[in-house]
Amino acid sequence: MADAVDGYGTTITFGTSSFSANLLSIDGPGLERAAINSSHMATASSYMTYIPAALADGGTIDIEFEFNGADSPPITGATETVTIDWASTLGSGSWAFSGFMTNYSPSASVGERMTATATIKCTGPKS
């Protein structure tokens, strides 16, 4: 059984745009691979059968970070190398992949920290 790991110290870096922010949370990428229905009228069992698709979808990454009105998020930028450093007290690991920002949404409330969320679409495998 693996030890629990604290996410403290995890960072995300955008290679071309150099966008950076104080990361509060990160979710994903949610990798996905389609299941292709291979059932036919003479399928032997009472269950549908499937085969795996040849291509997988790299998914998306959702990040939440401190909002700064002077920041310039790469919402209109080209695909760039995005690197996540999963830092922890047990060591660290890095994932790098090509991706681009598809959503950016700042938020402000009286008496609360201003935050923003963004979604990054992964294009291709992580390394």
pLDDT in tens, 17-53: 989 889 999 998 888 999 999 999 998 888 999 999 9
Query: Please, which residues have CB within 8 angstroms of residue 77's CB and are 6 or more apart in sequence?
Result: 16, 17, 100, 101
pLDDT at 63: 96
Among 79, 89, 68, CA closest to 120: 79
Average pLDDT over the chain, rounded to whole?
A: 90
CB 36 within 8 Å of CB 51:
yes
Question: Is the entire prediction scored with pTM above 0.75?
Answer: yes
